[in-house]
Amino acid sequence: MDINDGEEEDFEFSRNYFLAKELAGSGKKSTRKISDINVVDEQELRAAAANIELKHEKEINSLVNSYKSLYPKWVFELRCGFGLLMYGFGSKKVLIEDFASTALTEYSVVVINGYLQSINLKQVVIALAEIWWEELKTKRRTSSGVSSKFQQPFNSQSMDDLLAFLHESDVEENDSFVCIVVHNIDGPGLRDSESQQYLARLASCSHIRIVASIDNVNAPLLWDKKMVHTQFNWFWYHVPTFAPYNVEGIFFPLILAHSSTAQSAKTAAIVLQSLTPNAQSVFKILAEYQLSHPDEEGMPVDALYTTARERFLVSSQVTLNSHLTEFKDHELVKTRRHSDGQDCLHIPLAADALEKLLSEINQ
């Protein structure tokens, strides 16, 4: 009797299951769309997110400060030829920049923001080559063996030639190097195979060291065994900071938020505030020219250099190029070809957004 009751219960359960599926399939489909959702303005959403109170701030600061005792060890490992890879929950941008600004004062440091949507690695390698060239001259080394193969300007050199120059063993000191700080080496601008291959080759250069951070759990899948152990030569450090990704999150569109002209200007203003005062002033020159010449393709590079030099904002074309590289990496400036063949610089913002941006950075 008990067995029959059990069979009936199973039958009823199965029957009810299939009846429910049949009724669900015969029902009308919803006509609602995502576009029908009344979403909030992106500026309001970001403002609300910025006002979220950070919990355990005292404990987080104490945790980050505890990592400072590792700075001498990190410098020693860089001098020994290793690369440093920081992983763990939370933004590591402040930690790595503090390490670079306090413990690497004897070395030149180049920063790559991997959280940007696009990065021109060729421009980065050119900047590294120019820095290393200046260091060779400062050390008063005879560069006859180098100059015969590598001549300035480096803009005309191929990527292979630039990497070969950085790998030249012209300096006797083993700890003489240029350090590259890569925030989010697994970021959207560096996630492709070609970028990772170039970074690995760059890390294997005798006068280059890399300090990088990762935040994606699948980041190690970007590299093969050779890249990890021979080229990058990583020394892994678990340094969770539990800090919010305030800067990194600026460059990602918020879900369920409308973008606007005001927000585009606000985002650009936040990016400019992270740059040096001279870089901001150079950008102002470009913005003012674009507003006063709305019918032109943009401001010629030579004209920008002349104006910036007259205002004592840059001392050489190399300095201006470094500012322009920052602008392009942050997608603040784009290059256009003028009808006469010369390159012109254009800010991809509407006139009203550009005026709002100038008012933002002048405050």
Domain span at 62? 57-238
How many domains does the structure of the chain reveal? Answer: 2
Given CA atoms 223, 224, 225, 231 in this order, what sign does their dihedral have? negative
pLDDT band at 188 (very low <50, low <70, confident <90, very high): confident
- Coil/strand/helix, residue 258: strand
Q: What is the mean pLDDT of residues 332-352?
A: 82
Q: Which of 49-63, 145-159, 195-209 has the lowest mean pLDDT?
A: 145-159
- Coil/strand/helix, residue 172: coil
> Is 249 a residue whose pLDDT tops 50?
yes
Closest C-alpha among 111, 36, 174 to residue 326: 111
Nearest 10 degrees: CA dihedral of 191, 197, 200, 206?
-140
Statement to judge: residues 120 and 186 lie in one domain: yes
Most confident of 42-56, 167-181, 305-319, 336-350: 305-319
Given CA atoms 147, 148, 154, 160 in this order, what sign does their dihedral have? negative
Measured in degrees and rounded to the nearest 5, phi and psi for residue 14 equal: -65, -45
Statement to judge: residues 102 and 199 lie in one domain: yes
Single-letter amino acid code for the residue at 154 = F
At 29 the pLDDT is 40
> Is 260 a residue whose pLDDT tops 60?
no
Tell whether 309 is covered by a domain: yes
pLDDT mean across residues, the chain: 80
Q: Tell me whether the omega of the peptide bond preceding residue 153 falls within 30 degrees of 0, making it cis.
A: yes
At 70 the pLDDT is 95
> Could you give the CA distance from residue 306 to residue 282 in angstroms, rounded to a whole number?
11
Q: What is the mean pLDDT of residues 133-159?
A: 64
> Could you give the CA distance from residue 342 to residue 28 in angstroms, rounded to a whole number?
61
End position of a domain, from candidates 238, 269, 286:
238
Instruction: Name the pairing type of β-strands 178-183 and 108-113.
Output: parallel
pLDDT-above-70 percentage for the chain:
78
Instruction: Locate 145 and state its tokens.
Output: 């063996």
349 touches 268 (CB < 8 A): yes
> Could you give the CA distance from residue 277 to residue 264 in angstroms, rounded to a whole number?
21
End position of a domain, from candidates 238, 273, 292:
238
Contacts of 312 (CB under 8 A, 6+ apart): none
Statement to judge: residues 187 and 320 lie in one domain: no
358 touches 284 (CB < 8 A): yes
Q: Find the CATH number of the domain harbouring 311.
A: 1.10.10
Contacts of 141 (CB under 8 A, 6+ apart): 170, 171
Closest C-alpha among 116, 63, 80 to residue 234: 80
Tell me 112's DSSP state. E
The pTM assigned to this predicted structure is 0.61
Most confident of 54-68, 262-276, 344-358: 54-68
pLDDT tens track for 72-124: 999 999 999 899 999 999 999 999 999 999 999 999 899 999 888 778 888 88
Q: Find the CATH number of the domain harbouring 81.
A: 3.40.50.300
Q: What is the mean pLDDT of residues 13-22?
A: 66
> Using CB atoms within 10 A of its CB, is residue 194 exposed (0-12), middle (13-18) or buried (19+)?
exposed
- Coil/strand/helix, residue 41: strand
Statement to judge: residues 217 and 302 lie in one domain: no
At 343 the pLDDT is 83
End position of a domain, from candidates 238, 270, 303:
238
pLDDT tens track for 28-50: 444 444 455 465 666 677 777 77
At 74 the pLDDT is 96
Tell whether 11 is covered by a domain: no
At 200 the pLDDT is 92
Q: What is the mean pLDDT of residues 186-215?
A: 90
Tell whether 198 is covered by a domain: yes
At 254 the pLDDT is 54
> Could you give the CA distance from residue 33 to residue 282 in angstroms, rounded to a whole number?
45
Tell whether 185 is covered by a domain: yes
Tell whether 33 is covered by a domain: no
At 147 the pLDDT is 47
Statement to judge: residues 182 and 269 lie in one domain: no
Statement to judge: residues 95 and 190 lie in one domain: yes
The more confident residue out of 341 and 363 is 341
pLDDT tens track for 270-289: 777 777 888 889 999 999 99
Statement to judge: residues 273 and 211 lie in one domain: no
> Is 134 a residue whose pLDDT tops 70?
yes
Statement to judge: residues 175 and 84 lie in one domain: yes
